[in-house]
Amino acid sequence: MSNLYLGLVHYPVYNKFGDIVTTSITNLDVHDIARSCRTFGIKKYFIINPLQTQEEMMRRILKFWESDIASSYNPDRVDALSVIEFVKDIDAAITEVKSQEGNCVVITTTAAKLQNQINFEKCSKIDKPVLLLFGTGNGLAKSVHEMADNVLEPIEGVGNYNHLSVRSAVAIILHKLASEKYRRNNGCNSRS
């Protein structure tokens, strides 16, 4: 896989009733996903939310972590948050990636099994920059999956329950993609 970018989408996503909504940014998602992004070499972590109030809150969070106090308190956290960029919509994230890379493949994630999903092995072999989109709330709206180049297969657990927090899903998926890349680059047998 070439350069990997990540987008955390707050709109359009579903709520538990199946309505399309805008969700709020959570401090845990900001920090924990940024840490996973830095661990797995993500080029940019886009927080995607159309609301001005959410952007202002995001700026306040980041402003603290740009201060001298934060740098001395937790330099690793400051480093992790350096990959964050706030954008108002998915198109803005795509435009930003294309301005950096010239091209990109958009891949969405879901806990649902859909037709024609790309598996982790094939995803790890994509040789173009990838924007990997994760949904908050109860997942990305169908329209987001329809505009994507691919939809990634879901994470499979041991039973029928499949409702991970987005923070957990990001960490697992990034690890699986890195593991597939490691296996391929080191001549190991890969599993899909």
3-state secondary structure of 20: strand
Q: How far apart are CA 80 and CA 77, in angstroms?
A: 5
Using pLDDT thresholds of 50, 70 and 90, give the confidence band for residue 162: confident
Which amino acid would we find at residue 139?
G
Residue 142 lies in a domain: yes
pLDDT, tens digit (0-9, with 9 covering 90-100), for 69-120: 777 777 777 788 889 999 999 999 999 999 999 999 999 999 999 999 999 9
> β-strand 45-48 against 84-87: which pairing, if any?
parallel
Q: CA nearest 154: which of 136, 172, 138?
A: 172
Question: What is the number of structural domains in the chain?
Answer: 1
Q: Are 141 and 85 in contact (CB under 8 A)?
A: no
Residue 111 lies in a domain: yes
Q: What is the DSSP letter of 83?
A: T
pLDDT, tens digit (0-9, with 9 covering 90-100), for 129-146: 999 999 999 999 999 999
Q: Which residue range(s) make up the domain with 181?
A: 4-185
Q: What is the DSSP letter of 86?
A: E
Mean pLDDT score, 175-189: 72
CATH number at residue 180: 3.40.1280.10
Residue 19 lies in a domain: yes
Q: Report in angstroms the alpha-carbon separations of 128 from 3, 60, 149.
A: 7, 34, 12
**pLDDT at 189 (0 to 100):** 57
**pLDDT at 190 (0 to 100):** 47
pLDDT greater than 70 at residue 183: no
Mean pLDDT score, 36-56: 96
